[in-house]
Chain A
Amino acid sequence: MAQVSLRKLFKRFDDTEAVRGIDLDIADKEFVVLVGPSGCGKTTTLRMIAGLEEVSAGEIAVDGEVVNDVPPKDRDMAMVFQNYALYPHMTVYENMSFGLRLKRYPKEEIARRVQEAARILDITELLDRKPRQLSGGQRQRVAMGRAIVRNPKVFLFDEPLSNLDAKLRVQMRTEIKRVHQKVRTTTVYVTHDQVEAMTLADRVVVMNRGRIEQIGPPNELYHAPKTRFVAGFIGSPAMNFLPCRLEEDDGALRVHLSEELALPVPPARVARYRPYAGRPGLTFGLRPEHVTESKSNGGTPLSMIDALIEVAEPLGMETLVFFRINGLDVCGRVSPNAGAREGARMRLCASLDNMHLIDDATGTVI
């Protein structure tokens, strides 16, 4: 059992506050990802959980027991570092068994655990090698092996894939997920890559400037972001944001994106949005995949956009098209044979059932 809770966690470095009041409950065996831009406090939070940074204020509890004063070595947690931190003078076997040897486990037990972990991670042939003889991906696996072998209550990952090249990163991501399925342990994973967060997490914690923006399963964060930050951070390419005006003519609520373009608000949202009609400081958000070519069974004629394509990025399975509304860049995704190219005029359809309206003053999604 390893349930972790963070209560009103604060961290001050000299005169800056890196973490400002984090409240989080992580269930046993849950895979939680802390994601956010550099400097948002995610690594600091992780290190406080590990005991590598002292807590300025607040509590960290594991299974109900407050561990603020417990030194790292007694917290029964294992950490995988961004730079692997493998002991250069030890073989892979010795690296993985170091923690157990320190605690004087019997040799047979150590051997059994190391072999098991090596099997899970597919590094059995590497056990006699030294770190300098290994590639980046292999080293990362050894670092994970070192963590697995200890059978800890909590796994902590500090941006483990940042140092790998793109292709390897994708591979290792799947590895990590597979390992988590085999070795079901509470995991706290830190990354700045929202794709990693989406693919790996049971729940994603989006952090920004020391605070939590939103917590939730990946799909919830994707489809129902609560703040503009989350809406813009999750999803690639990022959501389109356009300042807009909400106006009601003859009982019909419309979103005005420019002098020429006004799109109808879907009936389901009218009630929610009506109070904001006529107010300044509103932003319209729509993901690129919801700006696409009209389909045969397609969109309401009233949601069409005339687009003059400025840039077309063919990705093989789809093409990203960039055009302007009211001088601002908008991104859409069309199928590869929709004839998208620079200079082309296309009629694109906006699927407004997936729109988001953001109140600029508070940054929240209405």
Chain B
Amino acid sequence: MVDATLEALAIAGGSRRRSALRKAMQRKSTIAFLMTLPLILLVVLLVLYPAFYSIHLATLNKSMERFVGVGNFLFLFKRETFWMVVQQSCIFAITAVIFKALFGFIVAHFVHNIPSRGQRKWRGMLLVPWVIPPAMSCLAWLWLFDPSYSAFNWVLDKISIGPVAWTGDAYWARFSVILVNVWIGAPFFMIMYLAALKSVPEQLYEAAAIDGANWWQRMWYVTLPMMRNIMAITALFSLIVTFANFDIVRILTAGGPIDRTHVFATWSFWIGIQGNDIPLGASVSLFMVPILTVAAVFILRDIHRRASEMS
């Protein structure tokens, strides 16, 4: 390989000019290093350092003068809201991802079924929720859910069903938040699954059909196994991103009613920035870490598995 050239010139027996070689070796490695330096700096300064810094912050008191150790965490454990937030975050993330995956899978199948010429058009239309900035579409949903003017309630009224407090009632609020998240995220799953569907060799289906499998069996024995990797990676990704979601809850319900829809992100914002208690806010957001780490480990394992399967 090209790179090895200069790198191992130092190993070349019989070469006399060692200092020149050293320079050559340094030159190539340093070029490569310099090229990645901005990236490394960016990540270290603005991602890794803050991540660890937040641990330090979480151990301080509100005015950030005293060290209180795990004081903040103990404080949180005693608060009922905290446990509501934990529960809501988990329910929110898991439910939303399940439905996103489901809808994405179903829609991907339908798109895959229609002739190729039409696929592009439909795919284009169906990805729109993902393209619109979430903050903008949340405003639209907010308007659709408006207590007085909800367009949905207007339709329900026309068929004699009473109005629904989409954001006012605790259970409906949770439903709405999940609904909007699914609306935004399902198209992403659809695109990923569509790509995965297309990569399944047609011959496998033909072989299965000859072996007498019906569509359900084909799905179970051919499609799903072949798509397993992409499905796992996409789902894990989405779990992480959904779990840490901020925009939707913030705009739609601001955490309400009565803190029932708060997730980690919005609650830590409420406490940390709006409540001016940075250490406590940091403690809240740190609780995301264990779950994120577990998910990240699974993702890494899956990626490595895919990489070794492919090579």
List of B residues within 8 angstroms of A281 by Cβ: none
Q: Does A210 contact B (CB under 8 A)?
A: no
Q: Does B21 contact A (CB under 8 A)?
A: yes
Q: Does B9 contact A (CB under 8 A)?
A: yes
CB pair B13 A71 closer than 8 Å: no
Per-residue CB proximity of A56-95 to B under 8 Å, as 1/0?
1111000000001101100000000000000000000000
CB pair A57 B14 closer than 8 Å: yes
Q: Does B12 contact A (CB under 8 A)?
A: yes
Interface size on B, residues (CB 8 A): 17
CB pair B7 A69 closer than 8 Å: no
CB pair B13 A69 closer than 8 Å: no
List of A residues within 8 angstroms of B4 by Cβ: 53-54
Determine which of A57, A71, A72 lies in contact with B12 in the assembled complex, contact meaning CB atoms within 8 Å: A57
CB pair A56 B13 closer than 8 Å: yes
Nearest A residue (CB) for B13: A57
CB pair B12 A68 closer than 8 Å: yes
CB pair A68 B15 closer than 8 Å: yes
CB pair B21 A69 closer than 8 Å: yes
List of B residues within 8 angstroms of A53 by Cβ: 1, 4-5
Q: Does A1 contact B (CB under 8 A)?
A: no
Nearest A residue (CB) for B16: A66
CB pair A56 B15 closer than 8 Å: no
Whole-angstrom distance between the Cβ of B31 and the nearest chain A Cβ = 13
Q: Does A145 contact B (CB under 8 A)?
A: no
Nearest B residue (CB) for A51: B5
CB pair B14 A58 closer than 8 Å: yes
CB pair B5 A56 closer than 8 Å: no
Q: Max chain A CB contacts within 10 Å: which of B5, B8, B15?
A: B5
Q: Does B79 contact A (CB under 8 A)?
A: no
- A54-B7 contact given A69-B20, A69-B21, A69-B24, CB 8 Å threshold: yes
Measured CA separation A54–B4 after assembly (Å)? 7
Q: Does B11 contact A (CB under 8 A)?
A: yes
Whole-angstrom distance between the Cβ of A336 and the nearest chain B Cβ = 46
Interface size on A, residues (CB 8 A): 14
Determine which of A10, A52, A57, A59 lies in contact with B5 in the assembled complex, contact meaning CB atoms within 8 Å: A52
Determine which of B7, B11, B20 lies in contact with A56 in the assembled complex, contact meaning CB atoms within 8 Å: B11
Q: Does B39 contact A (CB under 8 A)?
A: no
Nearest B residue (CB) for A10: B13
CB pair A54 B14 closer than 8 Å: no
Whole-angstrom distance between the Cβ of B282 and the nearest chain A Cβ = 48
Q: Does A110 contact B (CB under 8 A)?
A: no
List of A residues within 8 angstroms of B6 by Cβ: 54, 71
Whole-angstrom distance between the Cβ of A77 and the nearest chain B Cβ = 14
Q: Max chain A CB contacts within 10 Å: which of B7, B11, B12?
A: B12
A6-51 with Cβ < 8 A to chain B: 10, 51
Q: Does A156 contact B (CB under 8 A)?
A: no
CB pair B9 A58 closer than 8 Å: no
Q: Does B121 contact A (CB under 8 A)?
A: no
B9-43 with Cβ < 8 A to chain A: 9, 11-15, 17, 20-21, 24
- A69-B15 contact given A51-B5, A53-B4, A53-B5, CB 8 Å threshold: yes
CB pair B13 A58 closer than 8 Å: yes
CB pair B24 A54 closer than 8 Å: no
Measured CA separation A81–B24 after assembly (Å)? 26
Q: Does B45 contact A (CB under 8 A)?
A: no
Measured CA separation A52–B24 after assembly (Å)? 15
CB pair A71 B5 closer than 8 Å: yes
CB pair A68 B11 closer than 8 Å: no
Measured CA separation A69–B5 after assembly (Å)? 9
Whole-angstrom distance between the Cβ of B61 and the nearest chain A Cβ = 57
Q: Max chain A CB contacts within 10 Å: which of B7, B8, B11, B13?
A: B13
- Provide a sorted-by-A list of 15 A–B residue pairs whose CB atoms are within 8 angstroms: A10-B13, A52-B5, A53-B4, A53-B5, A54-B12, A55-B12, A56-B11, A56-B12, A57-B12, A58-B13, A68-B9, A68-B14, A69-B12, A69-B17, A69-B20
Known: A58-B13, A69-B17, A71-B24. 9 other contacts (CB 8 A): A10-B13, A53-B5, A54-B12, A56-B11, A57-B13, A68-B9, A69-B12, A69-B20, A69-B21
Q: Which residues of B contact A (CB under 8 A)?
A: 1-2, 4-9, 11-15, 17, 20-21, 24
Task: Across the A-B interface, give the 9 residue pairs with the lowest CB-CB distance, nearest first.
Answer: A57-B13, A54-B8, A55-B12, A54-B5, A68-B12, A69-B9, A54-B9, A54-B4, A68-B15
